[in-house]
Chain A
């Protein structure tokens, strides 16, 4: 069976080998698959949230169990029921004592969505091989990303410090704010999950910002221009949109249900 030269050609369909069936380089595919697996990590955390939420009574459910006379008219923080998010996240930096439910987190979400828009623009500029524009839009994305992190830092600080309402325990003592063990807003698990999940997401944003800074430096140095394509920007872009998307889910779980 000696190998004589042959002019016979193998098949050349999309899936017949020797090409990229998804028209995507291996690097981009890898990013996609990494994100798929990361989605499962977040999925597990959000499932944990769902289960914990399910194991606790809501305020109404808890009231319904009490005799008519003992029912509370107004929502109060208590370890006996899961807090109503609007009552927990109602503060705004610089405006002490206001009750603006979810205003601040809405702002944070806006900032993150804006950063996704500027990311799209950076990728698009990369397709045009427009170094100036790539730089500009990357900078905006870094800025919005960092702003989001700043907001989150404020949100955490506020959550940890608590407000003067506090929570009255059975023995009459009061607790203010929250950490991983005690929680003024409700069952400790609520705070645990808040810190853990938003923290995990924040770590992703932080890594994203670091990646953006790295590719910004490379862009400034003309690395991608010399390479002839800005695929790296696209890959980081995929990651950035994913982190954005995850936030939408985190937001829905923590703030809306």
Chain B
């Protein structure tokens, strides 16, 4: 494996030594800021994602304190938050803004841009055997559009009237009428502008990922030899390409309703006794448009982690992935179905009940491909020779969280049950397990697993284990109790609930959840320390520390511009030849021809020798 690139490792250089002058003589700006190298862009997305995750997490800790300790006074927050905390009490509008921005940031900026941006960019060219993305320039633009969207969204946090506060789903009429709540003023405008730019960034990235997968696979890399990661990123990009434009339409229409007096989503409204001129529009239409994006969006968040987790589980269990084709088929099925279930978010918004039962039927079908995936992961782990790296722990936990959250999805998908459960904490528990936590766990798995290829060094395993167990235990401690509250009818998005006698029994449970939430928030600093420390001081990595089969591990420790110093690798086999009976080692990389593995070739593979 290693003989090919020995000559190149004489000048082992850390990719992060900013003043290091390497042979490409690019300026610092070209190399690290306006870089067109997919690896650098991936890291830019990763750092931006981490930044946003810290902000998003901080916001949730704030509103969790309000929920967990409704009677407490938070005078210590006053210097930081100014008039948002008066007399130690969180302003209700501030609470709404926190929840909205928490959701927006986590869903779009962290788990869409941060996740796909990092791993699609990093892995697509490396695992396909390409020198770079199809268009490096557009790839760079994609990051910088995201950056502008980020700046606008970040700026909106500091507006006097606060950022958007109508929930991350920004339903009109609340979001359409600046006079409705402070958050529907300038904050909402900036939200819409930021999201419009964000969507442009997603499209630039998406067309790039798709065309790269179609046109830039190296010789021998047929679609059926691609690692599941690539399949996952490919389908994610397709979903984004088709779903985001509809949100773009909805955002534009909403901008017109807000700023130019149109009535697309508005009709017959009185605000403070005064009749508005809007007539004829339909707020339900917005919900349809939003969720036409919104439901595929949750798969845009989770699909990349399907890929990452499949890859990590197979590598660390030293077993071929169980049901490779079924894995692809189920992802295709999920991708397809995700476009026809959106109205399960609208069961109680006045939709025709017959339509509701159609959407219920389609929704419940999604359980089938999802279950296929779960069984295949478990079957892959089953009797494997498991290597419990932090990435593997995160992947196994991902499967657990995905099951726990998925099961409640089946409950919610029943339109009759949803009448009781909609807009309660049951929903919050559901999507935080299946999307929030699971996607975060998949992302952590990816970071721990590909860190050596990204930075040429290893992350510390011990800290990784500590970080894992804190995060895993707390994820369940936070979200499991929420199911009970939800079934009891505890509503979401309520600033205060102490006024309702029924809910006073939940005081302890809420405090408990909040404490767990704060513990897990603090626990993430272990990861942050590990991450940044290892970039500079981590143990040096070898080319292929996990003994993995995919092509990225055939590059030098710090792949330079163009990824492979010599000619591009050529692919002969699928990526999951782990523990193949008769083979010398327990893995056979994709670029090893069958003529070299005579001892392990299966009967039908003899023909290729």
Contacts and interface: CB of A to CB of B under 8 A. Distances in A.
A52 B221 CA distance: 49
B410 interface: no
A95 interface: no
A105 B299 CA distance: 43
Contacts of A56: 280
B179 interface: no
A2 B589 CA distance: 11
B592 A1 contact: yes
Interface in B1-21: 1-4
Nearest to A28: B211
Contacts of B246: 40-41, 43-44
Given A8-B594, A38-B245, A40-B242, A192 B264 contact: yes
A238 to B, nearest CB: 13
Interface stretch (B247-255, B321-329, B342-350, B434-442): B247-255
Nearest to A33: B207
A22 B223 CA distance: 14
Nearest to A18: B219
Contacts of A180: 256, 260-262
Contact of A181 (B3, B219, B261, B572): B261
Contacts of B223: 15
Contacts of A221: none
Contacts of B220: 10-11, 16-18
B217 A10 contact: no
Interface in A1-43: 1-4, 6, 8, 10-13, 15-18, 20-22, 25-27, 29-30, 33-34, 36-38, 40-41, 43
A36 B240 CA distance: 12
Q: Which of A22, A27, A30 has the most CB of B within 10 A?
A: A30
B219 A1 contact: no
A180 B277 CA distance: 11
Contacts of A41: 245-246, 248-249
B134 interface: yes
A15 B248 CA distance: 34
A188 B280 contact: yes
B279 A44 contact: no
A79 to B, nearest CB: 8
Contact of B217 (A17, A34, A187): A17
B595 interface: yes
B523 to A, nearest CB: 39
Contacts of B250: 44
A13 to B, nearest CB: 7
A187 B215 contact: no
A51 B249 CA distance: 15
Interface in B198-238: 203, 206-208, 210-212, 214-223
Lowest 8 A-B CB distances belong to which pairs? A10-B220, A18-B219, A44-B249, A17-B217, A17-B221, A26-B134, A41-B245, A189-B280
Interface of A: 1-4, 6, 8, 10-13, 15-18, 20-22, 25-27, 29-30, 33-34, 36-38, 40-41, 43-45, 47-48, 51-52, 55-56, 79, 180-181, 187-189, 192-193, 196, 200
